[in-house]
Structure 1
Amino acid sequence: MTENTIPPGQEGAYGLRIGDEDLTFTHHQINDPIITIEQILGLANARLKDEFDIYEFRHDGTFTRLDPASMVDLRQEGIESFLVFRTDRAFRLMIDDERYDWGVRRISGKALREIAHISPEMELWEALREQPDRKIHDTDLVDLNHPGTEKFYSRARTWKLKIRQNIYEFAASCITARQALDAAGFDLQKGWDLVLVSKSGRREIKIDDKIDLSEPGIEKLRVKPSVVNNGESQLGPRRDFSLLERDEDFLKNLGLNWRTVIDDKKRWLLIDGYELPKGLSASSITLALLIPAKYPSTQIDMFYCSPSLTLADGKGIAKTQTTESIEGITFQRWSRHRKGDSVWQPESDCVETHLELVEECIGREVNA
């Protein structure tokens, strides 16, 4: 953020925005670098005698009431926006079971923190009645004009890591892979091959390597048992046809047990031991993708599961009633199709991106 700069062709003018309680802003230019509260009220078509309050609203969420006798220097960093409210009512709110009164309809996350003295190390959440609670950031503005008292609470910050389709929370932003496996219930006496997947890419890690959970998004830890080679010859996995090189590299890097099968002239990619989130009738399946002969020009569509899945309580899942036989084994077809922004792009879409779609579709059924 820089100082309030002079727009081209507006030498000597300073820009500011004035908003009302509905956050409807109007833009203004003024020649004076230092202005009075009365000037701001005049731009807002309000008058002091009508009992208005003015709040300075900065980009970092700072929400400060201005005294009627104060002066504002528009040359200061971040001084650009003001909110003008009537002062004829008060709004009640609760933060960590303590009651507070606030003079205007909206309040920023940073203002909530300041009035309740909540430290930056804590998260701030709004307790909602008929939907999941909402995390409040410093720059968020919360509307207090709802029936009843708005309630907020603070809690210790946590960081998330996805391990085998389930999400685990940790109190520290940097943990070891050993701590992650222990939290997920893995036997630490056994050997495990680990692949960490994050926004910055994927890499193999060791059990005592550190995992930085502060990166944007939720990181994923892929886990498979280490294979001990005792020197005996073993048959390689079945490959009735080849995938794209990038597909095979992706599957190899994730340590997935996969094979390609041609059955009744259909080309199938089968992934054994594909792990599922909690809330379904099985913890893992054989996942099948039908690979078109002209892939990737022709898209991969839908996916298939064996055994067939229901929710853990026995309820069926929509659009999964059709089955397909692959070498005599029944697979349940999940009729899920790309549309809108997710339409297939032959230049970029592949097995990896379709597996992301599979993961999203399955997770949506159990809110994972």
Structure 2
Amino acid sequence: MTDIVDIEDWVRDQPNAQIPDATNYRLRLWDGDGFDEKRTLSDAEPTGRQILEAFERFPADEHVLLYLPRNGKLEEIAIDETLDLRERGPERFFAFKTDRLLNFVTNGRRFSWGASTISVALTRLVARIPEHESLFLERNDAPDKELTEDDSVRLSGKGLERLVSRQPSWKLNVQGVLLTLTTPVVVVKDALTQAGFDPSTGWIAILKRKGEAKLQVALNDTIDLTLPGIEKLRLTPAQINNGEAHTAPRREFALLEKDEAYLYERSLHWETFVDGGRRWLLLRNYVLPEGYNHSVVDIAIDVPSTYPRAEIDMFHCFPHLILKSGGGIGETSGRTAIAGQTFQQWSRHLNGQTRWNPATDSVMTHLAVIEAALLKEVGE
């Protein structure tokens, strides 16, 4: 015969195994007043009184004793009722010095409790609510309240408190379509598909977070919805025309391998072509931060023939930009004819410690200069 069996440990480690005969059984009791201990009984079939007195709950008949049987619902055991520890496998006992029990409902099942409050942790235990599910207090006159692990539910006795557990969910607004997701991380192209957009048709996706600049994201990027401030995913068509036949983007000269990889990674729509003896990198439908008179613009970048030894300088926009407030933008009065259109020249130059370095600078770093310049003008 086994010398001693700890009922709680046995049930946790061997949930479906028969509890063996033993000389002693260790039981755990919680009373809500800071007492949470284990004691040993030598009787495999004690009465409620024996259990209470083993834990020095005197006088026993002034206490209510509840227990949580293995794989079962919280139950009360009367003072003179016998409980077979081997059969019921009580995971924990709860003792209350009270003359009445209060009730609450969780997921449609009624439970009795001997104190005026019950913590979320104990609610999870007695109602068998998994940790990954969120617990809500149902309310008639307001939205249900999501409870944190530090919360307690007050049982007044005047009304039956009702709780419900739900799978956690996260919201994402995709171009006005509100998605409810069961995982906090979603791939951009999957979010588009769920919202009813075909990701293969060339959407430009812009992630908006409160208090931060808009961020263009690639289709294979992931969005972590646990990060604070995520507001929406906005879509812009990659190409807007007047019905002309679709043409493949021009690739009249090659960029550095790392530049092309970066442009593809950003899902930017770009072309390279030669016009008037100058080599141009054209970013089509580049999404602008809020604050300009246009939401998208074409950006042309002059790429010298000896790049990257020769630096990339300035950038050019079409259509021309002013602030939405009507204000002008400094150092943009220059005009450049490119492929039959007149672009607005933005005179922005590297200097000082940020002077062009052929070993480290590239189209990729120049795009950072462009984005910083565009954000600066609208105060972002």
TM-score, with normalisation over the residues of structure 1? Answer: 0.42
Structure whose alpha-carbon radius of gyration is higher = 2
